[in-house]
Amino acid sequence: MKKQLAIIGLIILLVCVGLSGCNQSDFKSDRDKLVGRWFFASENYTLTFFDNGTFIANVSGNFVYLGTWEINSGKSLSLTYLDSPLPLTRSYSFSNNDNTLTIYISETGKNQVFIRIK
């Protein structure tokens, strides 16, 4: 009986130690993952998403576009440029430890793959 209690106690101790390594801050929301600078190399295009829901798009270092963004349910991203009243809604996904952002352009059927700039 004492042997069984010792084994159960050891198992409980190992489970507690294993779970103590789990940190809630390791689990970021998509909104938190998106905030930062992203680079699309094939068109020399940079997107910077700010925590306050605004963004800057810089194309080839010459054209700068400003707007607002939000994450919708179902993995969709809405971008509203200041010079356009209608938002562009795009599906997106993260990969490579959240350092790669893929945005699907439904009109062309193509993906834009952005790399996080650190």
Q: What is the pTM of this model?
A: 0.74
Alpha carbons 44 and 46: distance in angstroms, whole number: 7
CA–CA separation, 57 vs 103, rounded Å? 14
Residue 103, number of CB atoms within 10 A of its CB: 19
Q: Residue 115 CB: number of other CB atoms within 10 A? A: 14
Alpha carbon 33 to its chain's center? 3
Per-residue confidence in pLDDT tens, the chain, 118 aa: 666 655 555 566 555 555 555 544 468 899 999 999 999 988 889 999 999 999 999 988 788 999 999 999 878 999 999 988 889 999 999 999 999 999 999 899 999 999 999 8
Could you give the domains of the chain?
29-117 (2.40.128.270)
Q: 54, exposed or middle or buried, with CB in 10 Å at 0-12, 13-18, 19+?
A: middle
